[in-house]
Amino acid sequence: MHEKRKKLQTMRALILVGGYGTRLRPLTLSRPKPLVEFANKPILLHQIEALVQTNVTEVILAVSYRAQQMEEELVHEAKKLGVRLIFSHEPEPLGTAGPLALAREYLCASDDPFFVLNSDIICEFPFKQLLEFHENHGKEGTIVVTKVEEPSKYGVVVYEEDGKIQSFVEKPQEFISNKINAGMYILNPSVLNRIELKPTSIEKEVFPNMAQDGELYALELPGFWMDVGQPKDFLTGKYLHIMIFSILYICIYTYMRMSMYLTSLRQKHPEQLHSGPGIVGNVLIDPTATIGKDCRIGPNVTIGPGATLADGCCIKRSTILKAAVIKEHAWLDGQVLIVSKYVNSCIVGWRSVVGRWVRMEGTTVLGEDVIVKDELYINGGQVLPHKSISTSVPEPQIIM
């Protein structure tokens, strides 16, 4: 009986795509955030693929801007995956709960629970476990929680041993829990009765009520988790300074945990990683990229489709996006020490060209179609799209 029910299920998911992605500038000046590639795949596609593996057949994207570009680029991929994409346009920003009310007709088409996730998240998505756990406790909702080192910077979740959530505490001054909301949920359609069609926060207005009614459970997320849009861990020290002076700061956060992602890929799908002479550590290279002779690549490098590395390049801790060109003997290293952690932060944007003998280091991010002339030194330069750089940038700076 139980088996039969499962087969009839139409699993749905709603992804909160949301805003302008200003924190991913200058890359998001050219592409909507969910389409910016992480490890050679649009962030959104990482999520959709994981959902499809959990038998999700209908994905609702709650979007508020640049929906057309997303539709054009994703429809093809969705077809390949055999998933139906529905675009739910917000006429005005509706927060994190409002979009659910807007998509009510799709989410209430059956009694089956549906997934909700923020588009900023990349992790080892535990959708199967989540569904199982949710069905076992039989209540209205389950949220995924993850462990953090410094809970005082977040809102923490306090729950019982069986997962039943007692309360949410914003920025606890004394230790009460080290689990935070990871931005992934499974909810029954009945939750929609708690949400009105107006700008509402699901975390602050909906979940606390559900917890009070004993209808909300927590499941701890194993493996790695990253919220590419919320780099709270790093809002301290040196980086705070860079952020104050930079309006385009966050772009790098997407990529600084590349090493974590690649390490997890090494464990699960080592065949997807590149190996061979000149390759050091975890390196992901698209099959359509061209790599010259005598290059040294890695660790923690991803090279996108159609990208070209000429002879004698050395690339470390960097992301080379689609169709970018790195000319002969260039040297790139995105190693930066942030709060005593080394992170990856050199990004070469789509179709950008890095000249011969160029040295790029630090939090250097080139937007789309940027040209860096031969022999220059770029240290922490953040360059807006379509610029041509002809003098060195020896100290961190934004080039408008």
Partner 1 sequence: MLKAVILIGGPLKGTRFRPLSLDIPKPLFPVAGLPMIQHHIEACTKVSGLNEVLIIGAYPKNDLAQFVQEMSSTYGIVIRYLQEFTPLGTAGGMYHFRDQIRSGSPTYFFVMNGDVCADFPLQEMVEFHSSKQALLTIMATEATRQQSLNYGCMVLRKEGEVAHYVEKPSTFVSTLINCGIYLASPEIFQTMADVFHANQQQDHIMQLCYNGRDPAHIAFEQDILTRLAGSGRLFALPVFRWWSQVKTAGSAIYANRHYLALYKQKQPDRLASTNKNYCHIIGDVYIHPSASVHPTSVVRGINCPNVSIGPGTMIEPGVRIREAIVLGKAHIQAHSLILHSIVGTGTSVGEWSRVEGTPCDPNPNKPFAKMENLPLFNINGKLNPSITILGTSVSLAAEKILLNSIVLPHKELTRNYKNEIIL
Cβ-based neighbour number of residue 138 at 10 Å = 8
Q: Which residues bind partner 1 (CB under 8 A)?
A: 294, 296, 311-312, 314, 328-329, 331, 333, 356-357, 359, 361, 375, 377, 394
Task: Report which secondary-structure segment, H or E, holds 82.
Answer: none
Q: With respect to partner 1, which residue has the nearer C-beta, 19 or 281? A: 281
Q: What is the closest distance, in whole angstroms, from the C-beta atom of residue 229 to partner 1 in the complex?
A: 32
- C-alpha distances in Å from residue 389, one per residue of 222, 295, 355, 362: 44, 24, 10, 17
Q: Which of 51, 217, 220, 222 is nearest to 142 (CA)?
A: 217
The answer to whether 171 is a known catalytic residue is yes
Q: Which residue has the tokens 């994905």?
A: 59
Number of Cβ atoms within 10 Å of the Cβ of 394 = 12
Q: Which residue is catalytic, options 171, 198, 232, 293?
A: 171
Task: Give whichever of 222 and 394 is closer to partner 1, judged by the CB atom.
Answer: 394
Query: Alpha helices, DSSP H only, in 82-154?
Result: 98-102, 104-107, 127-137
* Min separation Cβ 357 and partner 1, Å: 4
- Residue 391 beta carbon to partner 1: minimum distance, rounded to whole angstroms: 12
How many of the other CB atoms lie within 10 Å of CB of 207? 25
What are the backbone angles phi and psi of residue 155, rounded to the nearest 5°?
Answer: -90, 125
Question: CA 288, 289, 295: angle at the middle one, nearest 5?
Answer: 150
SS3 of residue 201 by DSSP? coil
The structure tokens 């953040």 sit at 382
DSSP-derived 3-state class of residue 120 = coil
Which residue, 213 or 311, has its beta carbon nearer to partner 1? 311
* Angle at which helices 67-81 and 43-53 cross, to 10°: 30
Q: In whole angstroms, what is the distance from residue 179 CA to residue 294 CA?
A: 47
Shortest Cβ 373–partner 1 spacing (Å): 13
The Cα 391–Cα 382 span in angstroms is: 14
For the CB of residue 309, give the shortest distance to partner 1 in the complex, in Å. Answer: 13
Is 25 or 327 the residue whose CB approaches partner 1 more closely? 327
Our CB check for partner 1 shows the closer of 19 and 312 to be 312
Angle between helices 43-53 and 127-137 (to 10 degrees): 50
42 prior amide bond cis, ω within 30 = no
CB nearer to partner 1: give 213 or 294: 294
Q: Give every CB contact of residue 366 below 8 A, 6+ residues apart in sequence.
A: 347, 348, 349, 352, 354, 372, 381, 383
Shortest Å, Cβ 310 to partner 1: 10
Report the SS3 class of residue 50: helix
- Residue with Cβ nearer partner 1 (251 or 358): 358
Tokens matching residue 160: 């019982």
CB of 312: closest distance to partner 1 in angstroms?
4
Positions annotated as catalytic residues are 171
